Each structure stands twice: as C-alpha cells, then as structure tokens.
Structure 1
C-alpha cells in the first residue's frame, strides 16, 4: 500500500498551487521550497519501494521502515487536503459572489484536520506551512534510514537480475495420482477437449488462483493413457516469470528432439527452425505451465501458432495461468477452463489422505475427525492449504497439538506462511501499485462478505486509490481494477444480474482474505463488539487507519473507540452486523481524518451536527437505517464528500436545503420513497449518479428540484427520475432538462407513476424525454401512452444494449428489433398487451433490412396477463409472409424466460426452428408449456418448466 500512496502523493505535490491573492496566503509561500524538497525526496524513495514491499514480508525492520514512510505520507496527504479544501471553498465563495442572487449559500471555514476552527485564517495557513516543514524533516530522516536495508532500485528485469523472494518452483510433468482428489469432472472435460477432432481452437487455457491445483490437474491429464496414445510428441515447459523466449524455445527443442542447445549465441530464428523440423507432420501436445505474461509481443515472438501449423491436425497447446488476461492475449477465452475450489467432501478426503497417513486408528477417532472437519472448513477448498496443513498435522500425534493448529491464526503457522504465501505473493507482486491498494482495502470487510462492486469502487475512490491519471474517470478506472482482480482470481462466488450477466458482487476466498489481512495487519483492524462500553481486540496499535466494528449490540456506538490511540488518524470506520442507534458527538470529534464512514444497516435515529466537521470525508453510507428521518444541516459542510448513500432509509422525510454546497458530490443514492429532492441539488455539476427513482417535479416549485434544474448536470452517467407535479406545458418543461445533451449518460430510468396525465400528454412528455444517442440502458415504468416517441421508432439509440419496460398500460410495443446493439429485453407486467407482431421486430414489408434483433441474447416476458398471440407477422401481416420469413430474427438469442403469461398458447416458428437457445425458463404458462415440441426442448441444454400442464410431461418444480 505504501507504493501506491507515495505515487499518488508525488502527483499531488506536483500540482500544488501557491496562491498569492492576499497577505494571508503569502505566508504559505515559505513552504514552497519545503514542498518541492519533499516531493524530490519521495521520488528518490520511489525507486526502492518495489524491493521494500517484497522484503517486508520476511524482514520486520523493513516493514517498520515502510510503516514510518506511510505515516509521514498520510500526514502530508492530510495537510494537502486541508489546504486544497480551504482553497476550494474560497474559490467557490468568490464564484458565488459573482453569480449574484442565483446562489444563496456560502461555505464556512470552521473545520480542518488540525482542529484550528477558532484560529484566524492567517494563523491557520502559518500552521500548514510549519507542518510541511516538520514533515519534510521526518521524510529526510526516513530517506537516510533506507540505506540500512540494501534496497535495490527499480529497473527493468532485463537489466537487473534480482532474485525474487519465494521464487516459483520449477514444475515437471510428473504426478502422484494418489494426491489428487475431486478433479474427475475437470479432468474428463479437459481430456475430451484435447481429443476432440473437430475442435477449432489451438490453445486451451486452465485458469485459477494460486494453489488451486492447475498444475496438478494438467499433470493428471498429461499422463492419462488416452492422451499418451493420442499425441506422438508431448512437451512440458515451465514458463514462469519473466517470459524468456530463448529459454522456452530451447526447452521445446530438447523435448521434441532430445537435442540440448548449449550455444547461447544461437538466434531464436535458428532454434525455432530446428523445432519446426522435428515436429513437422506429427501430432504434438505442448504444455506451457505457469504463464504470466499478457504482452502480445512476447507471445508472438515465440511464433507457436505458426509453428503448430507444421504439426498434424489435432495438435494442442495447454496453458496454465492465474490470469484471464493471458487467455485473452492468446485469443482463447472461449476455450478457457476455470478451476474452482474443491467440494467439502473432496477437501476432507485430500486432507485425511495426508494427515492420517498410516494412522487409521486416529482417523476413526471421533475427536480427531471433528477437528479435521473444522480445519478443512478453514481451508475453504484450496488444495495447497489442505496439503500444507495435512503435512503439518501428520507429525502431531495428540489432540492438544491438533487443537493448537485449529485455534491458531492460520498465517501465524510458520509452515503455512512459507508454503501458501508463495503463490499468493507472486500474484500480489504482479499487480500495479494502485491495484495492490484496492486489493488490500478488502481486508476492511469480514470473511465471507459479499462485496457490492459499485460500493467497493466508491470506497476505493474515497481513499484516493483511483486518482492516478487525472484525465480518467475514477469510476471507470475502478471497474477496470475490479475486473483485473476478478481475472487474477482474487475474487470468487460471483453474483450476476440475472439478465445482463454483468458481475454486480462477489466474495473473496477465505485464504486470500487471511492473506490480505496479514499484509495489512498494521493498518486494518477488525474488532468484535462485546457491549456498549468495550470491544475485544488483540492487536490494536497506534498505526491502525482502517477499523471495522463487528456485531455491535443495540444502543449507542461503543465508547471505547474514541479512546483508542489511533482514532484521530482513522481513515475508515465501518460497522457490520450491528444495531447501533446513536453516534456520540464526542466520538465524531476524534475522527478528523476520516475518509470513509460506513454506518449502513444499523438502527440510527439521527446523526450529530458535528459530522459536518469531518472535512476529509469522501464517503458516507447510512443506507438501511429505517429510523433515520432527517440529516443534520451540517452534513452540507462536507465539502469533499463524493458519495452519499441513503437508499433503503424508508422513513427519511427530506434532505437538507443546502445540499448545493456539496459541490464535489459525484454519487447520490436515495430511497425511492423520498418525497422530493431539494432545489439546491441543481448546483451539483459534478454529479455522476442520481438514482433510487427520486421525484423530480415537472413544474415550477420554490423548494423542489424540477426537470429544468437538471439542465446543467452534464456529467451524469446514471439517472433515475420519477416524474411528479406536471404543469400545463409538461412537454416543454421536460425539454428544459436537455437529456439529449448529456453525452456521458449511460443508464436512464424514467418513471411516470405520479404523472396524472392524459394519454396524449404523456406521449408528448415521453417524446420530450429523448436521451442522447450514446445511452447504454433504458428502463421505463408506468407508461400508458398508445404512441411511442419518435426517438424509439427508429434505430436512433444504436448503442442501447439493455431495455426494460415495466408495469405499462400500453397495448403496443416499440420496434425494438431495429436497435443493432440490443442484447437484453425485459417486458414485465403489461396489462393490455394482447399480441406481439411485426411492429416489435421493427420490420415492414418494404424494408431492405435483413435482420431483426441482430444482437439480442436474453429475452424476458413476465406478467403479460393478456398476451394471447406471439407471431412473426401479428397485426402487421400474416405469419406466413414470405418477406418476414426471409429475415434473420434473433440469431443470437441464448436465454428465453417466459413467466406468468397464462393466455399465451405457442412460440413463433422462428424460435421453435432456428433459435440457438441455451437456457429456457417457462413458469406458470400452462398452455404454452403443453405446446412445446419434445424435439425443441431436447436440443436446449438448460430447461426449466414449472407449473401444471397436461400431456403427462414431467415438470421441474424446483
């Protein structure tokens, strides 16, 4: 985490602006020299940070040095943030003064991280300058101290050959079959893929986290009798890191020809020519074990795809890697085999086979057996950990010794640290500094916790981990980081959007969680609450900056937290599984450096006014607090706040009028039951997210946000609005929002529940709601109009991928088939829709288009109670229309869900005959289920039909 922190701080120091607008500001100019020196010293330290990060694992002195570096870096970050906050507030005040009466709020300078609210502005700035000078002296001493550790400067691997700590052992094709459990399914699938004659792909990647058994599975398959007989030549090469093309080529040559090339001057071209000569017209299986590089140039320099063209048909390259990017680079993601953890039963069998070797009597002892099961649960299906602990306990003969291992912290067991650390550390070292920080921040969450992707990204933002590269959108960078961690197998057990298949949440393997907690033991602490006055903790120290409180009982926030030595430097305070009802103002006074405050799902009734003093706060989450009715007015003093989460606060009555002061707010999540949004929100020009379907009035209102107030919010990415209080000229009022000018808007949700319009007026409002053509997803609620707007009757929304129409009274559908990028369509609870016909496909008789829904992958029809016919032609023409029959309709449809459509009698012929369905769900559609031909159902891999139907067909009722 030190590396990313220093990188960010160097960038921040490089952009410090020294204003000279008054005598008071000039006093800070004395610090300019110190700031430049501080930055220069940090840049020198940067050169050795990579080496220090690696050595800290085995050298406590290096870890302590890094902790000192982080201490002074955090302090400087706080100083800069206080300075930037005051400067920003001053500039905002000056801007407001020039804008006149249109802006009625001003900022106060009553808070900063040095608790100098009572000092005048000049004294405050003098203190900042003095603090910078002191920190510069501290950093200079840290720079001098680094010479004690012989740290190596960061240089390209080709220039400096520094041995990595805990290097990856060289693997071979040898396998002890008796040590492999629970991989029968994966083995058979992999063998089948290798032997399949018509298989188009050359490369088959096996992907999984370190220690999950990728190499063992590949060894098992490599030595299988069927594989041995199928391939004339087999070669096993341990690639590892760095990717040495010459070394790999030499090893391949040795395997295929038996020739050992001793001449290091041989050029790669000659080596590859020699390989090509020996493998020509022979069927070869080449295993590349432990591939790390995702560099396309390095892979292409090996020329394996070209070489393999000389082999007999059916030759294969089998690759093991812990990085999905490797499979992408090799263009083999479609052939990728992802290796997950072992089942509980297989885990126990593997553990027992090692721990009870030649100890059958102990194995039958119930006490030993119970302990074994508990230890296996701690290993969470990871073969490397199971083998390590099994080997450790093989030589421990008493129940007491086994219990000591069971109840110890797993990473304090020396053998586990040495053997399990190795693969995880290698994966960790391979990450960029900012990604390391994001991974380590996950230590603030409990084990087995399901992360919400967007919440996690907003918390990374609040800590400043995503500020690298000022021209990039932080949320976009956060999603890329999340994807990287997914692809490196640090996350698992993914939850997906049922229709779009987008990952929205995940968990972290218990062993990986232990690993990140080990690396952050001096910064992250989880405390188990025992009452309102105290908590249990065994390792609190004065460097803890991220504190998680577990299972606090109903009542006030435990008072012990305010007494902790580290409370004044905390950057994260989070609660989990707690029922806290009140936050004491004295506690808030101790949290001046807080960036992230997560109080979600408690029983909080009110927040103290002092919360407005937390000037560094970026993320405030009080979602799920049902008893919270109001926010204190001082929450509007949180100048740096970026994310405010108020969703599921069902009794929240209103937001403070001065919300417009939160000019850095980017993400506002509110409960859909909130009556209205305050007018001041119109000043939040940085807002990216406004969701929860808050009411936005479509009429002039002195207090509430109106449609016209959205006009200047041109940074919006996600917008959910519920139309309310329409005026006489509703359509023209909607036009004031200028939704069509919001080029960054990717998700739009429009709800007409409280519109109280006649149908024609509603259609006019819908027409005026035209979004920008860049829109990715569109959700429409409670639309009753019989006419769809012009912008939905063409292919205007050419980038739209997701469309939902919910609880609509309309009897016709828009021509969605015209949209070339549409992947997901959901139609739910349409009361008056009786037929689906040609209008839905967007195809007329005179059309020249050759396809309809060319990209559609998922179609969901639910609650269409009146739907009787779904035909190719429908109202617009006869189902036998030859023009329609010649058009390709839904050629990529893989998932079809039809729920609660009792009158629908059959599917259209193009679905029954041609659809490439992989998933079919039919629920409570008796007539439809009875009409489905057996040959149609038999060719779909995943079918679930539930409900009562005739013909005696067996129905899945799960």
Structure 2
C-alpha cells in the first residue's frame, strides 16, 4: 500500500532532527541535503497515489510504477530505521559506560593501582567501537544517496501516467456500534431451505446421511450452515456437534485432528501411522452417539481419503448426520453419494437482498430512509448485488457512511463496477469499500492476507502485528498506537471485512474470522507481496517463492518440516515471517542472517527447543512470538540486541525457566506475555523497562539462593505504564503486605482487569499473610474486574474494595475459611458476580446486600446494576435470608437477568426479593441441589414461581420447568 507507506517514510524523515545529526552519531557531510531531496521527491508523488492505487487494478504499467515506488520506500524505511537504531544503541552504550564508571569509582576506593594491559585493552576496544560506527555511518549515507538516485527517476516517470491529484480528509471512525453485522440467527431469505434441512437432520431414516449444501461463492453457505448448527431444534437433537473448516487442500489428518479436539480426547500424533490412529480414536469416541458433523468449505477431497474418514464416522448412531458446504457439484456428488438430500442454495430474491441491505445501511441511524432508499436507488442496488448476500452486506456497510443521495449515486455509478479484471462480482463491492478506507486502514486489512483461510484472528495479536509494521504511527503518536489500532479494527468490523466474532466477558470482540471470499479479495490485491508457501513433500514446495517482491510470508508445512533454503535466497526483503508447522526441525544457526528486514516473526505452536543466536541481528524486529514451544528452555543472550522489539510473546513455553538479563536493553518493549510459564523467574531488570504497558502475568517464585536477582511483587511499582489485564500468581510467596503496597497498583489508572491468585494448591493451609497481603494492595478506582483465587483468610473485604466504584465484574474462587460475605450490594457498577467454593458459608444474610439489621432511614438500592449472579459448590450453605415484604425503602437487584446455582446441596429456598427481580433465566444446576429442587414443588416454592412470572427460562435439575415463557417438563 504505497500511499500509507510513503506517509510513514515521510514521518521518519521528519523525525531525523538536526539535534540527532549533530550528536556523535551524525552521518557524513552532505547527508542532510540527501534527506531533504528524499522528502521533496516523496511529497511530489504523495498526492497522486490514491489515483494510482485505483488504476493499478487494470493498468499493468501503473502497477509496476507503484511497485518500484514501494520498493524504494521500503529501502528508505530500513535505512532510516537502522539510523535511529544506531542512535538508540549509542545512547544505551553511553548509559552502560556511565554505570561502569560509577562501579570503577567504587572499585578505586579499594585499589591503588590499575593494570596497564587492561587499560590499553579498554582503549583499543573503545577505538574499535568508534571505527565500527564510522563504517556504519558511511554505509548508511551511501545507501541513502543510491536510493535518492532511484527515487529521482521514479518521481520523473510519474509524468507518463497523468495521475490526478487527490486531497484526503480525515476519516472519523465510529466506535460505538461494532454489532452492525447480521447475526446468523437473522439470516434472511432462507427459511424454506432451513426448514427442509432441519427436517432431514431430525428424520429417523436409519441411515447416516451426508447432506451437501452447494452454491457459488458469496451466497452465504457458511452462514446458512451456522444458523442450522446453532438452531435449538438441532442442538437438543444430537449428542455431539462438531464444526470443521476444511478449505483447500483437503487434508484428512487435520480434519481428523479437529474432530478429536472437539471430542476432547488425546491422541498420539507422533506415531508413524497418525491417520489410522486418529480414525480409530474417532471411531471409538462416537460409538453409538448421534452426532452432527459440519465440514465447511470443502474443495478437493480424494475419494479414497474421504471413504476412510467416512468409514470411521459410521461407528456412530445410524441417525447421525454429516453436513458439507462446497462450491463444487462434483465434490457434493462424490461425498454425498446421492443427490436425494442435496441443498442447492440459489441467489436471494431482490426483495430479500434489499431487506438485508436496509438492516445494515440504516443500522441505528436517525435518517429518513425514504430520502435515500427510493425505488430508483433500490433498483440499482439490486442490480449491483445480483442476489449475493455478501455483496449486499458489503455494499450496505459502505453506504452507512454516505449521508446524502449524491454520495449514494456516486457509489452506484462508480467505474469500479465496470472492471473486467475483477474476477468475481463480490470483489467489485469489496473494492468500493476498500478504496473508501483511509490508506492506513487499507494496509491493516491487506496484512491479513498472510494468514490462511479460516484463520482465527486474535484482536490484540493482530493489532500488535500492525504496530510492528508501523501501520499505526501515521500521526507520529507512539503512545496512542494501541488505541488507534482498536479504532482501525472496529472500522473493519463495521465495514463487514470480519465475521464470526467471539466476545470476552466484557463484551469486547476477542477474536474473529474473515469470509473466504474476503480472504480471496485481499490475496488478489497482495498476490506479489503476501505469500503462503506449503511444503507438501520432502524437497518439493507447492508454492515456490520466485523473487524478492514478497514482503510477508507464511510457511505452512505438513509433511516436510525443514526450513526451505529458497527463503534465504529469494526473500531477503521479508518484513513478516510466519512459520505455521507443528514439528519444525531445529533452526539452522544462521537462520536469520540474511533476513535482515523482518519486523514480525511468528514461530509459535512449533517444536522449537533452541532459538539461534543469529536472531540478535534482526535490528528491525518489533514482534516476536515463541508461544506454545513447550520444550523451549532458554532464550539466547543476543535477544538483548533487539533494541526495537515492542512485543515478546512467550505464552505456554512450559519449559522456560528464565530469560537473559540482557532483556534490560529492550527499552522499546511494550508487551510481554508469559501466561502459562508458571516456573519462569523474571530477572529484576524487568523493572527497568519503563515503556512496558502489558505484562499479562506475574508468577511470584518462592525464595532461593538467587532471590535478590528475581522480579518480585514490589518491583511492579517501577512499571508505571501498565495497562489492560494483570494476573498475579502465588501471592503467598510475597514477604508481607508492604510488597503489595510497593506494587503501587493505585497509580496504574489504565490497569482495568486484575486477578489475584494466592497459591497453586488449595490444600496449602498457610493463611497468616493472606489478609495482610490483600489489604496491602490499593487499586485505582478505574478497575473494572477483579478475581480472587485460593484465598485462605476469614476476611474477604479489604477496605479498598468498597471504593471500586467502576467495578463491573467480581469473582471469588476457592475461599474455604471465609464464612461471611462482604457487603457487595454497595458496589454501584457491579454487573456480574460469581462466588465459587466458599465452603464455610452457612448463611447469606442481608449484610451481603449492604443492609444493616436496623430499619433503613434512607432509600437503599442494593446491587443496582447486577445482571448475572452465580453461586457454585457452596457445600455448607443452608439459608439465603430475605427482607421484610412491606419495606418499600429497599430496592434489591433491579437489573438482575440471570441467576445460576449449582452444587449447593444444603440450600433450602430462594429469598422473596428474587421473585421481584426482572429475571429472564434461572438455572439450578447439578445433581447436588436436591433440597432446593424439592422446595420448588412445595407451596412456598410454587408461590415463588408464581411471583417470578416474568422468568422466561427456568431449568431445575437438568429439566426445563419453563422455556421461552411456556411451562413444560422436558429433558434438556
């Protein structure tokens, strides 16, 4: 994306200030003039790039001109990055030297003489470093001059194409409505087909049926299958439901592994005959079970492999079903064996397409639809989308941002609809939406092409990858990059470039996927830059990288897990390398010696035991992911040379025991992820990383010989920029409450989610310090969620908890000795409360509501915003106290929608005030609530149910008493 790249480079050039040039790291005479010439050339073409970007789709010579401009810009980007790195390295060496001099002063107090050979050696080392810096400066200056000469010709050649200058305004990103996608439960225009397929799924034919769903791309086959898969009639009919995205190629081993993962059974994947073992495991675990298996997006299965997999599946109940979605009739015929149950999805009617369009285009808008959505406009829209739901959805997402009829007409009459080079009709509406994005957001979207179809994008990971590529620093504000990334992500969500959203407990999008046609689209636009290489057999690559145009590479290997040599020779300009193999052979010692331009390196979920020292030469590296390398025991000391590193992911590296002390030099590190590394001893030097914003976990280690050298609870006080979520484990190893106070959480206003885990093992009876440590903490009032685990004191209400006025979520797990609940009803913002395994609680009294025993003199609103309440494994709990019926001054849980109680075997009844709460769902789970279940059958229990008439779903002991507002008694 030349337009955004040029903007980044211009920012870099602007940041090379005179103060930097005048320092000891200045370059040779005249380089400042070369920098000015670079700025002039780039500014000359900057305003023409919007026109060039749009014309490259159909004009090959324009595309070639853009490629040369991008290639030169990449080179400038690298050179300037090396220049800035040299400046940073110089400052760090200076600081290290000052520290050594301070140590030397202390040493001279004890030593009168110094060693002449040692002194001369230090002099020689010093002048050697000076010489290295001079050589490096001349090299940078020479490269800048060469690039300038090339850029001069590129700037001159622009005159051959008559580009039109475009001035771009600033796009206002709406963040509030990220739910403007059509939910699968509201699929439009498929009612007849859905009823037919559900009828077939539930039929007792006695034969295991394979039901193909066939249709062209963009018809919504996957969305249709999802609506069937999640339909209540289907979920209650089958014992097991399994969803597998197949895509291209059809790999029977991966499909079998995916099925096993859903069935939650272990398998021995290292055996030579993996496929047969997986088939045996599938066969055994579905024995006599009625299952529904969805094989989504099937392209090219071989008949022999499909028959083997199908044979293993036939051990289930004869009324099991297999649903296959595919674009190809020959695939449907081969897998289905008969056309009797095939579902052919046709295009939607104009009426249904327009209804889908209207729902999205006018979502939550205060606009008179009739002014924009008249019959003439409707006719044009119907013609453009041509019955394809994805085209309607994409076009509607674009029109949401067009406020006038003139803007709507301009979109519908755009020349993009006439492009013959665009292979699929959906691509035309995608192109319109794509070019309506700002250049920076376009870059972020195109980066997704390096990942395969059906890839689950973790929102935070994706944003950090964008950061590493410098896509989020368009305004030069490095501190707000993550916020900008969230805005860009939300923008792409609202434009319908993402789907299949998974949300976290705070209702924020945690992960998503990309429709396979949208994936085809981004690969269409990046086919020379983003590349997925598949090594299908020893020494033979399915997709060969042929030149240095590739900037982002994903190496996917199934059968040969070696590191292809062709990458070294053909991909020296790589900026992203993702290795997606599961059993990667040991990396060569010089693995990264030729791949100097890499910014993003993902080596997660492999079998790496050792990281080569050569990784320290990746001076541009900003993102390093080594997560889920379970046998990785250490990192090389050279990691400390990655001065630009911003993100280091080490999650679930179970064998990792320590990281090198040299990590102190990573002054730009913002994100350190170590969840799952329970025995990792962080060095105390972590406290010097003052730019660290995210430390997801801190596993406190019990004292040992090197106790003074490890990072402790109190050292958190040095990390002033921490934000997001923090999990602190093994708190019992903290010395006392002063350590908790020294952590200074009260000063971390952007730390919103906190988990305090006191001990690894519940059986640990040591309790003396728990209350002191908990009371020692002070948190900022911005805290939104708090979880406490394995706390062994009798008091669970530190003074600071009641001051958490913004606390929305509160959870307690394994608090065995606390017998009285805190007055949590006083928390004004609390929306979710879960209490689990508080084994000493016998009675939940009115103090829990924040009510004293006296008659209230003022109005009391207890739990004013609580929406969901859960109690589980309260083994001694017998009584839940109510309030006086006539007490009109007390309002209790006026927002409560869901109540869940499980494994509370002694609880006798529910309090009267719950009958007045606006409950929508009541679940009494587990076989260990017999007394409470029996109470519902008594006069009091029936009276309570009568008072709670607004409850839509009541489920007691696994049976529905009421479902969707209708009384019933039914097995779930």
- TM-score normalized with structure 2 length: 0.69
8 Å contact kept, 2:533–2:545: no
* CA deviation profile, 1:371-409 (whole Å, cap 9, x unmatched): xxxxxxxxxxxxxxxxxxxxxxxxxxxxxxxxxxxxxxx
Q: Which residue of 2 aligns with 1:832?
A: 840
* CA deviation profile, 1:282-318 (whole Å, cap 9, x unmatched): xxxx989979xxxxxxxxxxxxxxxxxxxxxxxxxxx
Q: Which residue of 1 aligns with 2:757?
A: 751
Measured after TM superposition, the shift of residue 830 of structure 1 is 2.7
8 Å contact kept, 1:553–1:578: no
Measured after TM superposition, the shift of residue 150 of structure 1 is 2.1
Decide which of 806, 811, 832 is 2:813's aligned counterpart. 806
What is the alpha-carbon distance in structure 2 between the residues aligned to residue 633 and residue 661 of structure 1?
A: 11
Cα distance change on mapping 1:247 and 1:626 into 2, 3 Å: closer
Measured after TM superposition, the shift of residue 423 of structure 1 is 0.9
8 Å contact kept, 2:836–2:874: yes
What is the alpha-carbon distance in structure 2 between the residues aligned to residue 864 and residue 504 of structure 1?
A: 31
Measured after TM superposition, the shift of residue 76 of structure 1 is 0.8
Q: Which residue of 2 aligns with 1:815?
A: 823
What is the alpha-carbon distance in structure 1 between the residues aligned to residue 369 and residue 755 of structure 2?
A: 56
Measured after TM superposition, the shift of residue 757 of structure 1 is 8.5
Q: Which residue of 1 aligns with 2:493?
A: 486
Q: Please tell me whether residue 578 in structure 1 is matched to residue 710 in structure 2.
A: no
What is the alpha-carbon distance in structure 1 between the residues aligned to residue 513 and residue 671 of structure 2?
A: 24
Decide which of 873, 885, 890 is 1:863's aligned counterpart. 873
Q: Please tell me whether residue 775 in structure 1 is matched to residue 783 in structure 2.
A: yes
* CA deviation profile, 1:75-110 (whole Å, cap 9, x unmatched): 111111111111112223333444569999xxxxxx
Q: Please tell me whether residue 706 in structure 1 is matched to residue 678 in structure 2.
A: no
What is the alpha-carbon distance in structure 2 between the residues aligned to residue 185 and residue 940 of structure 1?
A: 33
Cα distance change on mapping 1:862 and 1:463 into 2, 3 Å: farther
Unaligned runs of 5+ in 1: 105-115, 159-179, 188-208, 225-235, 256-285, 292-318, 331-412, 873-878
Measured after TM superposition, the shift of residue 320 of structure 1 is 8.2
Q: Which residue of 2 aligns with 1:129?
A: 141
Q: Please tell me whether residue 887 in structure 1 is matched to residue 890 in structure 2.
A: yes
* CA deviation profile, 1:391-435 (whole Å, cap 9, x unmatched): xxxxxxxxxxxxxxxxxxxxxx97872522111111111212221
Q: Which residue of 2 aligns with 1:341?
A: none
Spell out the pairing of 1:58-207 with structure 2 (5 A cutoff): 58-98=58-98, 120-155=132-167, 181-182=189-190
Q: Which residue of 1 aligns with 2:47?
A: 47
Unaligned runs of 5+ in 2: 105-127, 171-187, 196-216, 224-346, 383-391, 404-418
Measured after TM superposition, the shift of residue 712 of structure 1 is 1.7
What is the alpha-carbon distance in structure 2 between the residues aligned to residue 863 and residue 451 of structure 1?
A: 35
8 Å contact kept, 1:922–1:946: yes
Measured after TM superposition, the shift of residue 658 of structure 1 is 2.3
* CA deviation profile, 1:544-574 (whole Å, cap 9, x unmatched): 01100113447543333223x12x2111111
Spell out the pairing of 1:430-829 with structure 2 (5 A cutoff): 430-471=436-477, 472-497=479-504, 499-531=505-537, 533-537=539-543, 540-553=546-559, 555-563=561-569, 565-566=570-571, 568-670=572-674, 671-695=676-700, 701-717=707-723, 718-724=725-731, 726=733, 730-753=736-759, 759-794=767-802, 796-809=803-816, 810-829=818-837
Measured after TM superposition, the shift of residue 682 of structure 1 is 1.0
Measured after TM superposition, the shift of residue 941 of structure 1 is 4.6
What is the alpha-carbon distance in structure 2 between the residues aligned to residue 480 and residue 129 of structure 1?
A: 38
What is the alpha-carbon distance in structure 1 between the residues aligned to residue 727 and residue 902 of structure 2?
A: 26
Spell out the pairing of 1:903-914 with structure 2 (5 A cutoff): 903-914=906-917
* CA deviation profile, 1:875-933 (whole Å, cap 9, x unmatched): xxxx32754x6433332233333333333344333333322425757344444455275
* CA deviation profile, 1:130-171 (whole Å, cap 9, x unmatched): 21122122222212222222221114799xxxxxxxxxxxxx
Q: Which residue of 2 aligns with 1:917?
A: 920
8 Å contact kept, 2:455–2:513: yes
Cα distance change on mapping 1:946 and 1:517 into 2, 3 Å: farther
8 Å contact kept, 1:532–1:559: no
What is the alpha-carbon distance in structure 2 between the residues aligned to residue 860 and residue 519 of structure 1?
A: 49
Q: Which deviates further from its counterpart, 22-31 or 50-59?
A: 22-31
What is the alpha-carbon distance in structure 2 between the residues aligned to residue 767 and residue 93 of structure 1?
A: 42
Cα distance change on mapping 1:944 and 1:655 into 2, 3 Å: farther
What is the alpha-carbon distance in structure 2 between the residues aligned to residue 868 and residue 823 of structure 1?
A: 25
8 Å contact kept, 2:732–2:770: no
Q: Which residue of 2 aligns with 1:391?
A: none
Match of 1:702, SS state, is helix
What is the alpha-carbon distance in structure 1 between the residues aligned to residue 448 and residue 770 of structure 2?
A: 47
* CA deviation profile, 1:817-851 (whole Å, cap 9, x unmatched): 22222222232333333333323323335474532
Measured after TM superposition, the shift of residue 519 of structure 1 is 0.7
Q: Which deviates further from its counterpart, 674-683 or 693-702?
A: 693-702
Cα distance change on mapping 1:52 and 1:20 into 2, 3 Å: closer
Measured after TM superposition, the shift of residue 693 of structure 1 is 4.2
Cα distance change on mapping 1:890 and 1:603 into 2, 3 Å: same
Cα distance change on mapping 1:555 and 1:422 into 2, 3 Å: closer
8 Å contact kept, 2:653–2:677: no
Cα distance change on mapping 1:608 and 1:821 into 2, 3 Å: same
Match of 2:531, SS state, is strand
What is the alpha-carbon distance in structure 2 between the residues aligned to residue 238 and residue 630 of structure 1?
A: 51
- TM-score normalized with structure 1 length: 0.69
What is the alpha-carbon distance in structure 2 between the residues aligned to residue 250 and residue 663 of structure 1?
A: 53
What is the alpha-carbon distance in structure 2 between the residues aligned to residue 812 and residue 951 of structure 1?
A: 33
8 Å contact kept, 2:648–2:673: yes
Q: Please tell me whether residue 219 in structure 1 is matched to residue 351 in structure 2.
A: yes
Cα distance change on mapping 1:726 and 1:131 into 2, 3 Å: same
Spell out the pairing of 1:375-414 with structure 2 (5 A cutoff): none
Q: Which residue of 2 aligns with 1:309?
A: none
Cα distance change on mapping 1:507 and 1:467 into 2, 3 Å: same
8 Å contact kept, 2:750–2:782: yes
Match of 1:788, SS state, is coil
Measured after TM superposition, the shift of residue 22 of structure 1 is 7.2
Cα distance change on mapping 1:247 and 1:662 into 2, 3 Å: closer
* CA deviation profile, 1:709-754 (whole Å, cap 9, x unmatched): 22121100132222457466x1123222212112222222222116
What is the alpha-carbon distance in structure 1 between the residues aligned to residue 378 and residue 892 of structure 2?
A: 42
Cα distance change on mapping 1:28 and 1:746 into 2, 3 Å: farther
Match of 1:120, SS state, is helix
8 Å contact kept, 1:926–1:948: no
What is the alpha-carbon distance in structure 2 between the residues aligned to residue 586 and residue 779 of structure 1?
A: 45
Cα distance change on mapping 1:321 and 1:514 into 2, 3 Å: closer
What is the alpha-carbon distance in structure 1 between the residues aligned to residue 665 and residue 90 of structure 2?
A: 13
Cα distance change on mapping 1:554 and 1:539 into 2, 3 Å: closer
What is the alpha-carbon distance in structure 2 between the residues aligned to residue 101 and residue 210 of structure 1?
A: 68
Q: Which residue of 1 aligns with 2:416?
A: none
Match of 1:588, SS state, is coil
Q: Which deviates further from its counterpart, 708-717 or 862-871?
A: 862-871
Measured after TM superposition, the shift of residue 807 of structure 1 is 2.1
Q: Which residue of 2 aligns with 1:16?
A: 16
Output the aligned Cα RMSD. Answer: 4.2
Q: Which residue of 2 aligns with 1:34?
A: 34
Measured after TM superposition, the shift of residue 643 of structure 1 is 1.1
Cα distance change on mapping 1:127 and 1:554 into 2, 3 Å: same
Match of 2:470, SS state, is coil
